[in-house]
Amino acid sequence: MAVEVEIDVQVLKSEIKKTYASVSQEPEKDFIFPTGRPWAEDLGYPAELANVPETAVGSFAGVANPWQLGRLAPGERVLDLGSGAGTDSLIAAQMVGEQGHVTGIDMTPEMLTKARGAAAEMEVGNVEFVESEAEQLPFPEASFHVVISNGVIDLIPDKEAVFAEIFRVLTPGGRIQIADVTIQNPVSAEGRRNIDLWTG
């Protein structure tokens, strides 16, 4: 069922970009959500976290641990939807190895800069970061074996568009490993109009 959205989606996107540009550029700041390496460790992130540079993990802003759903196999092609500063992409790059490939997409340029910097520091050649919106992915059908995502789809009003894109770019029998925020009770019209509730 489509969610009725009474906000200007372009205004929302611009506010989200501002929030996550700040997470990427001022990682030491106190946000209303937890960030950084201690948070990823608390979530029980896998051993590969230790090899991910602070450049990425300092701006980690995931909401839970998508690796609890399973590891990736060597050789797999992976899409990280809303890759932020790149922590999950760089963990995925270690799991899939040189025969595999990881593509992170994000709409916030400052996050992409951080993620690319962290990949260069790690000297990994099997990961790339692409500026894109999750609702309209610049990839052909059946491009990926697995889609991972952490704390992104909750920020996007048009969830039907996102899942349509995920299913389009997955190979038949592909997997999704998503950590995200869900709500069990209806949100009031006033709540749905409150941009601050969306961006956090």
Ligand X SMILES: C[S@@+](CC[C@H](N)C(=O)[O-])C[C@H]1O[C@@H](n2cnc3c(N)ncnc32)[C@H](O)[C@@H]1O
Report the interface residues with ligand X, using CB under 6 A.
16, 20, 60-62, 82-85, 87-88, 106-108, 111, 133-135, 150-152, 155-156
**What single DSSP character describes residue 154?**
G
In the complex, what is the shortest distance from the CB of residue 110 to ligand X, in angstroms, rounded to a whole number? 9
For ligand X, the closer of residues 126 and 177 by Cβ is 177
Place of tokens 């205004």: 11
- Which residue's beta carbon is nearest to the bound ligand X? 84
In the complex, what is the shortest distance from the CB of residue 133 to ligand X, in angstroms, rounded to a whole number? 4
In the complex, what is the shortest distance from the CB of residue 171 to ligand X, in angstroms, rounded to a whole number? 22
For ligand X, the closer of residues 91 and 99 by Cβ is 91
For ligand X, the closer of residues 84 and 100 by Cβ is 84
Q: Rounded to whole angstroms, what are the CA distances from 124 to 59, 88, 112?
A: 19, 14, 16
In the complex, what is the shortest distance from the CB of residue 61 to ligand X, in angstroms, rounded to a whole number? 4
Sequence letter at residue 96: V
Q: What are the backbone angles phi and psi of residue 127, rounded to the nearest 5°?
A: -140, 140
In terms of DSSP H, where are the helices of the chain?
9-25, 37-42, 54-57, 87-96, 109-122, 159-169, 189-193, 195-199
